[in-house]
A and B are shown apart, each in its own frame.
Chain A
């Protein structure tokens, strides 16, 4: 079956190969412009090719204008990334990739967010369930959950220190510069993603499925375990991955609460001290300049890209309907 998209009747396979061709042409054009030392030429090429694609879609001058204007933003987002990757020195990246200090940073940068995601899910899923079913005062709780999304993250770090630091809730718990402190700060900024994703998943499960489970004999827990939970599990996983990804990229709150962290590092079999990866990149930038920090940033970017692809894969899969037939 072909589907009419503008004037180009393309089936799914055709669309895929058109996209691949466009990407390949763009990469070749970028490589050519870069080797000439004129990346500006490539920016011009992007605008022209967007205009051409807009023209090919036969939406007239309007289509050309929209495509060209939209591509300006694409240039601003994509060109720095392309230049960043192209300008790295492979030998410096290789050197950093074999540096045990960097290994510790990458380990902490994946491990602490993983713990954060577990904490977010363990307490966020029950909250999300109640939010999806509604209760009096719900809007207040929803605002509280979403608050970290709008608070500057350095402020979030200060708030965490006031709440859990010296003189705070748990006098015996030391948070400043510790792994628990780091996880508290990460949870503060990541929890909304886990709660909201899980809540959306629960909301998509029809109430009547739960009624059906209950009226045919299941207790509330049994109905959750066999019906609501399994139907919402993709949303919970997505929420966990989103919280993890958010924690991997967190800088502000961690820089305030736990600039350097002591933690158990299995490959060394002992406690070591390292910084959260985004903090480490910033630190390296201040001390070693752009090239040094760029190499580490490239490694971190690779890890983040892998997480991003995982999220995309999970969320795309989760769009299959799981509601009432």
Chain B
């Protein structure tokens, strides 16, 4: 069973220009499709449109059944909201059992809460729960209706970092067993959870592919920047350009992951000056300014040079990709 989405919708708020969202993608049985995009790219509106919250043109089809004309309650989905959206006047257990009054599903709400490690919260009301607890209850509420597709809208973004990491681990287990669309602006989460990624910008899909495609072979400088790759105009390489081209004669930019750039190598492709060194968990992020390259190049190093040092950079041929602006 495959969910086929080909929708367009226009949103207008008072005093703002109309915002147009159009997207075409498919979600295969059992996979986690991540919609990745910056704030304001329309990814949440797209997900809400798929859920049936907004009027839209085009079609949403699940396993051949056309859902486009059905209201949200007729689409057999479930939704996890960024800010939980738990019913504040119902206990956690009542929240989880909510959908089972209306939809056939035999999961035991208390068992779902137990699976997510929050069994002891069953009788608590949402205003008394922490963010992580509330989102676990919201996840249980969504799973309780045994949805054909689970829709998740930035479920981790309202949480602090330790809570986010532990819930992301749990989500990984949950998503392994269901078909889901997961909206996020966080590339780390996207890479950790996605089977495939749809990158959105300004209401449009700009690339669809596996995490490897999107992170290592970005389709445009825009996708490359958003997924954290270095973007270097090919012109910066002078007579070495032909060595770096991977077949596309019309390519304009080279992209490379920061972890793949070699620092202090012999036979450098570029030479620059260390601008900034930022300590991260196990390594340091080194920002290097290179002559006429507009964006500084980011490199990871366990033994970073001091700011101001002149360093050489080399891009392993098998790790670079090119794209067109």
Contacts and interface: CB of A to CB of B under 8 A. Distances in A.
A295 B141 CA distance: 61
Interface stretch (A29-37, A118-126, A193-201, A216-224): A216-224
A325 B86 contact: yes
Contacts of A321: 127
A212 B134 CA distance: 14
Contacts of A216: 73, 78-79, 98-99, 102-103, 141-142, 145
Contacts of A219: 71, 73, 102
B78 A211 contact: no
Contacts of B85: 206, 208-209, 211-212, 324
Nearest to B144: A216
A214 B73 contact: yes
Contacts of A324: 83-86, 88
B48 interface: yes
B11 interface: no
A208 B87 CA distance: 10
A325 B81 CA distance: 12
B53 A211 contact: yes
Contacts of A215: 51-53, 72-73, 75, 77-79, 151
- The winner among A212, A215, A219, A322 for most chain B CB atoms within 10 A is A215
B89 A322 contact: yes
A6 interface: no
A308 B79 CA distance: 44
B72 A322 contact: no
B65 interface: no
Contact of B51 (A211, A220, A322): A211
Interface in B118-141: 126-127, 129, 134, 141
A163 interface: no
A227 interface: yes
A187 B84 CA distance: 40
Interface in A116-174: none
A64 interface: no
Interface residues of B, number: 32
B249 interface: no
Nearest to A223: B73
B101 interface: yes
B89 A218 contact: no
Nearest to A220: B71
B325 to A, nearest CB: 38
A214 B52 CA distance: 9
A105 interface: no
B84 A217 contact: no
B104 to A, nearest CB: 9
Nearest to A209: B85
Given A218-B73, A227-B87, A231-B88, A212 B81 contact: yes
Interface string B44-68: 0000100111000000000000000
Contacts of B87: 209, 212-213, 226-227
A323 interface: yes
A230 interface: yes
Contacts of B142: 216
A206 B89 CA distance: 13
A217 to B, nearest CB: 3
A213 B89 contact: no
A217 B89 contact: no
Contacts of A212: 79, 81, 85-87, 141
Nearest to B80: A212
B248 to A, nearest CB: 43
B319 to A, nearest CB: 43
Nearest to A214: B72
A217 B79 CA distance: 11
A14 to B, nearest CB: 29
A226 B78 CA distance: 18
B73 A325 contact: no
A133 B87 CA distance: 19
Nearest to A216: B99
Contacts of B86: 212, 324-325
Nearest to A233: B89
Contacts of B101: 217-218
B89 A325 contact: no
Contacts of A220: 71
Interface string A230-272: 1100000000000000000000000000000000000000000
Interface in B86-120: 86-89, 98-99, 101-103
A211 B72 contact: yes
B99 A325 contact: no
A325 to B, nearest CB: 4
B102 A325 contact: no
Contacts of B53: 211, 214-215
13 contacts: A211-B79, A212-B141, A215-B51, A215-B78, A216-B78, A217-B103, A218-B101, A226-B87, A227-B87, A231-B89, A322-B88, A324-B86, A325-B86
Ordered nearest first, which 6 A-B pairs have the shortest CB separation? A217-B102, A216-B99, A325-B126, A214-B72, A217-B103, A208-B85
Interface of A: 206, 208-209, 211-220, 222, 226-227, 230-231, 321-325
Given A215-B79, A218-B102, 5 more contacts: A212-B79, A215-B53, A227-B87, A324-B86, A325-B129
Interface of B: 48, 51-53, 71-73, 75, 77-79, 81, 83-89, 98-99, 101-103, 126-127, 129, 134, 141-142, 145, 151
